[in-house]
Amino acid sequence: MAWVSAIIQGILIGGLYALFACGLSLMFGVMKVINLAHGDLAVVGGYIAVGVIAVTHLPVLLSFLIVVPLMAILGYVLQRTVLQAALNRSILTTLLVTFGLSVVIENGLLQFINAGSHSLGVGNSIVTGSFKISSQLQIAYLLLLIFGVAVVVLLGLQYFLSGSKYGRMIRAVADDREAAQLSGIDYRHVFGIAAAIAFATVALGGIAYGMYSQFSPTTGTNTIVLYAFAAVVIGGLGSLWGTLLGGIVLGVAQQIGAQISASDQLLAGYIVFLAVLVVRPQGLVARGART
């Protein structure tokens, strides 16, 4: 029964990892930006939520109403300025700039907030409660909620990309930037919108993580960015639902590892990631070769 419980937990946590991963996948798919600062941005989202709740006394589950738009604006501005400038140069420059952003954000948080841990939603019955299926099988409301949010976000993204005007523009630019430009699309603006969406999803991920676990300024680089990339790589690049599959595989691997011994939780996840890299580098949901 403990194993069944672990697998169910793992699947549900996969939703959280998918929230981290889908923005990363979107930014790579559209702009070819590998955002090494992605984890730190999730942590920034978490800290903004802490601040918003302290100031407005909003319930924690509604804090996203302010955090997500703020992060989306930040994403648009960052893309139109620093990231676009890096993209105009080379992939190496983009990597270095996002790595620089990661270090600056992490140490900025350490400097201006503090190194201590924070968490969201302590005392909220939805955040901390769970229901029993049997004596050994409990499912936390929070994990179900996060998984549900992840599915809704992925459905929304799929609908947006395939159905809406901006979604079509994003796909056009991702497929062939020059041709899209010739058709009168300002690709920089489209990039900005894609970054805004990616930042919005990572903000949701940051809030969800803050409710699920404690976070500190170093959480972004120590874990979140690695989980996000692992989920993207395991699932397969460029596939939205692949990030959910990747997240689930990562989550289940971690929970099974934790069953073996508590210290094996992270290790098991990374070993599955490396195994996928070796055996199937294009990811479980393949979308062509990767260069």
Applying CB under 8 A, which residues contact other proteins? Answer: 28, 34, 36, 82, 85-86, 89, 91-93, 95-97, 99-101, 103-104, 107-108, 110-111, 221-222, 225-226, 229-230, 233, 263, 266-267, 270-271, 273-274, 277-278, 281, 290-291
Distance CA 73, CA 98 (A): 18
Shortest CB 100 distance to other proteins, Å:
4
Shortest CB 271 distance to other proteins, Å:
7
- With the CA atoms of 262, 265, 268 and 272 taken in that order, what torsion angle do they form, in degrees rounded to the nearest 10? 160
Q: CA-based diameter of the chain, in Å? A: 63
Phi, psi of 282 (to 5 degrees): -80, -5
In angstroms, what CA-CA distances link 182 with 172, 185, 192, 271?
11, 7, 19, 45
* Comparison of 53 and 83: residue with beta carbon closer to other proteins: 83
Three-state SS at 139 = strand
* Comparison of 53 and 285: residue with beta carbon closer to other proteins: 285
* Comparison of 206 and 257: residue with beta carbon closer to other proteins: 257
Instruction: Determine contact, residues 71/77, Cβ cutoff 8 Å.
Output: no
* Comparison of 137 and 267: residue with beta carbon closer to other proteins: 267
The amino acid that residue 261 corresponds to is S
Shortest CB 182 distance to other proteins, Å:
27
Shortest CB 187 distance to other proteins, Å:
19
- With the CA atoms of 189, 193, 194 and 198 taken in that order, what torsion angle do they form, in degrees rounded to the nearest 10? 150
Shortest CB 79 distance to other proteins, Å:
14
Shortest CB 279 distance to other proteins, Å:
11
CB neighbours of residue 137 within 10 Å:
14
* Comparison of 13 and 67: residue with beta carbon closer to other proteins: 13
* Comparison of 95 and 139: residue with beta carbon closer to other proteins: 95
